[in-house]
Amino acid sequence: MGPPQNIHLLWVEEDGVYRANTEFGSATIAETRANKSRYSFGVSDCYKAWIEHSTGVLLKAPGEFATFENAEDWLINKLGLLFDPSINESHLDEIRYTLNICKHLLPDSAEIYHYLRLDHLVHELEIVLP
């Protein structure tokens, strides 16, 4: 099964935080209002974006966005990549996200070696897929 042709996010806003449910967790855009006064120049609102799995694992945008639309575009792109099971350098963030979810889904009774193996796998992928 591949990604849907068009990913549409249905946003619910509460106190400047926009959330949309997806197959990969909650897509979130948080608006940070600039402290504007009549003496400020070049100060504008910004937006942070991330995907949060129900385990609490986050896939965060590397920085802030100047517009809501730019943040939404980043989320839609990441969701499209999460649908793709490929293992290559362009999917490293998504692979790390999946492996971190796996670590969080391990039961408390799991041997430490399972956690270490997942950490080692992430490390090796970062070396092999620069």
Indicate whether 36 pLDDT > 80: no
Break the chain into its structural domains and give their ranges. 1-84, 86-130
Select the more confidently predicted residue: 39 or 15. Answer: 15
Indicate whether 38 pLDDT > 60: no
Q: Which pairs count as long-range contacts for 116-123, CB under 8 Å and 24+ apart, including other chains?
A: 122/95, 122/96
User: Tens of pLDDT along 105-126?
Assistant: 999 899 999 989 998 988 888 8
Select the more confidently predicted residue: 59 or 121. Answer: 59
0.75 surpassed by pTM? yes
DSSP 65: B
Residue 32: its pLDDT value, please?
87
Indicate whether 35 pLDDT > 90: no
- Which pLDDT band, with edges at 50, 70 and 90, does 44 fall under? low
Beta strand segments in 24-105, E: 25-32, 46-52, 58-60
Of the ranges 4-13, 21-30, 43-52, 85-94, the best mean pLDDT one:
21-30
Residue 57: its pLDDT value, please?
95
Give the pLDDT mean for 29-38.
Answer: 74
Chain-centre distance for alpha carbon 74 = 9
Quote the CA–CA distance of 38 and 40 in Å, as a whole number.
Answer: 6
Strand partners, 60: 50
Pick left, alpha or beta for residue 96 (phi over 0 → left; psi -120 to 50 → alpha; otherwise beta). alpha
Contacts of 79 (CB under 8 A, 6+ apart): 3, 7, 22, 24, 27, 51
Indicate whether 59 pLDDT > 70: yes
Give the pLDDT mean for 33-61.
Answer: 80
Quote the CA–CA distance of 22 and 10 in Å, as a whole number.
Answer: 9
